[in-house]
């Protein structure tokens, strides 16, 4: 089956978002990242600001608290509502057009389609820290903290909603690429070769 949708999961600082955006440009297909927040907001009835903070990352309180906190009488938390809205938006996008979707558990949400190329971009720690330092204009120590914190929250969100393990597991992806060793250009080229 020809692949026409690309999901990109990525470690923070690995350049996965950048690579995904370049691939979308070069292939002339749609690119979905933060720009789907308004649609998720509309579907869930929550504010775009709230979605921005919660749609991909689990709250800082950690997975255990996450699983039990703030549920209404139906057992659904606000996070569940966000997730459900996000899921619907992603399913509709995949139906509508060829596209690149960054993060947001899209690999799992689209797992029943066979036209999806699931990519995981990871990198070596020194290169990731260097990139974060530069992009966010922060000191090295702060960059390390950001990297650990954001990956941990992405992981908690993914593991909670997918029953799969975030990152690491090659089995969940068609393609895993180490962007520090391969370089961004080569990662883009490899992904485009699979479409």
Give the footprint of a copy of itself on this chain (CB under 8 A).
Answer: 117, 120, 122, 167-171, 173-178, 181-182, 186, 189-190, 193-194
Report the residue number, 91 or 182, with the smaller CB distance to a copy of itself: 182
Residue environment code for 3-13, b if the CB has 16+ CB neighbours within 10 A, otherwise e: bbbbbbbbbbb
* Overall size of the chain counted in residues: 195
Q: From CA 155, how far away is CA 161, in angstroms rounded?
A: 10
Report the residue number, 11 or 79, with the smaller CB distance to a copy of itself: 11
Least distance from a copy of itself to the Cβ atom of residue 3, Å: 8
Least distance from a copy of itself to the Cβ atom of residue 61, Å: 27
Least distance from a copy of itself to the Cβ atom of residue 186, Å: 7
What is the token pair recorded at 190? 């490899």
The answer to whether 62 and 54 have CB atoms below 8 angstroms apart is no
Least distance from a copy of itself to the Cβ atom of residue 109, Å: 18
Q: From CA 4, how far away is CA 99, in angstroms rounded?
A: 7
Least distance from a copy of itself to the Cβ atom of residue 193, Å: 6
Report the residue number, 109 or 177, with the smaller CB distance to a copy of itself: 177
The answer to whether 195 and 3 have CB atoms below 8 angstroms apart is yes
61 backbone dihedrals φ, ψ, rounded to 5°: -70, -10
Residue 113: helix, strand or coil by DSSP?
A: coil
Report the residue number, 138 or 182, with the smaller CB distance to a copy of itself: 182
What is the token pair recorded at 89? 């938006």
Report the residue number, 92 or 185, with the smaller CB distance to a copy of itself: 185
């Amino acid at each position: 089956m020809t692949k026409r949708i690309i999901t990109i999961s990525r470690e923070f600082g690995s350049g996965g978002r950048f690579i995904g955006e370049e691939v979308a440009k070069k292939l002339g297909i749609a690119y979905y990242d933060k720009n789907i927040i308004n649609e998720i907001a509309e579907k869930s009835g929550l504010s775009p600001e709230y979605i921005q903070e919660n749609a991909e990352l689990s709250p800082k309180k950690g997975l255990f608290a996450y699983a039990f906190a703030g549920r209404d009488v139906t057992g659904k938390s606000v996070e569940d509502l966000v997730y459900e809205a996000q899921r619907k938006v992603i399913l509709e996008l995949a139906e509508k057009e060829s596209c690149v979707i960054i993060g947001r558990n899209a690999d799992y949400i689209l797992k029943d389609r066979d036209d999806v190329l699931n990519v995981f971009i990871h990198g070596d720690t020194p290169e990731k820290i260097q990139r974060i330092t530069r992009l966010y204009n922060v000191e090295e120590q702060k960059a390390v903290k950001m990297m650990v914190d954001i990956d941990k929250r992405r992981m908690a969100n993914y593991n909670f909603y997918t029953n799969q393990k975030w990152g690491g597991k090659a089995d969940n992806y068609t393609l895993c690429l180490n962007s520090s060793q391969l370089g961004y250009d080569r990662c883009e080229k490899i992904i485009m070769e699979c479409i």
